[in-house]
């Protein structure tokens, strides 16, 4: 395992185990988001004995350390991703694809929100829109 991936865990006081390191690697080396089950499948490729309960417990540890954030997108399942600046998620109702807006957009929205919500100290901002993505709109109209 590359130190590049274990270092963040050490820094944050997360005990390093192969399970956690590979789960973190899967998350940190992609700007995508994954369900617990997707992570399980991916990491089992390198750690065949991995249990789904360990995935959940590792995600809890990583989230507690602030490395991972959990979201829910509409009626969909829990998804996990490496923490980054807040960015809106766009969920296509037709193809199910989830795309991200860049975090500049998230920052502007966060600014607008904070201006509106005086007295509330925002830690985490979650934004998602459901609708129809450009590709699917083309296809059907």
Binding of residue 98 to DNA (CB under 7 A): no
Residue list 8-27, contact with a second copy (CB under 8 A) = none
Q: How far is the CB of 12 from a second copy (least distance, A)?
A: 19
Binding of residue 15 to DNA (CB under 7 A): yes
Q: Which of 60, 93, 114, 135 binds DNA (CB under 7 A)?
A: 60
Alpha-carbon distances of 98 from 15, 31, 95, 114, 117, rounded to whole Å:
32, 12, 9, 26, 28
Nearer to DNA, 20 or 87 (CB): 20
DSSP letters, 61-114, are HHHHTTSEEEEE-TTS-EEEEE--S---EEEETTT--EEE--HHHHHHHHHHHH
Nearer to DNA, 40 or 92 (CB): 40
Q: What are phi and psi of 126, to 5 degrees?
A: -120, 125
Binding site for DNA (CB under 7 A): 10, 14-20, 35-37, 47, 49-54, 56-58, 60-61, 77-78
């Amino acid at each position: 395992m590359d130190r590049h991936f274990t270092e963040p865990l050490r820094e944050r006081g997360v005990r390093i185990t192969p399970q956690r390191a590979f789960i973190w690697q899967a998350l940190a080396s992609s700007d995508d988001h994954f369900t617990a089950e997707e992570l399980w499948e991916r990491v089992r490729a390198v750690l065949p004995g991995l249990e789904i309960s360990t995935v959940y417990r590792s995600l809890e540890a990583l989230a507690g350390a602030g490395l991972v954030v959990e979201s829910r997108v509409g009626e969909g399942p829990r998804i996990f991703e490496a923490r980054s600046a807040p960015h809106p998620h766009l969920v296509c109702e037709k193809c199910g694809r989830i795309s991200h807006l860049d975090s500049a957009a998230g920052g502007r929205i966060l600014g607008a929100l904070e201006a509106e919500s005086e007295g509330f100290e925002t830690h985490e901002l979650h934004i998602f829109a459901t609708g129809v993505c450009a590709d699917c709109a083309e296809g059907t109209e």
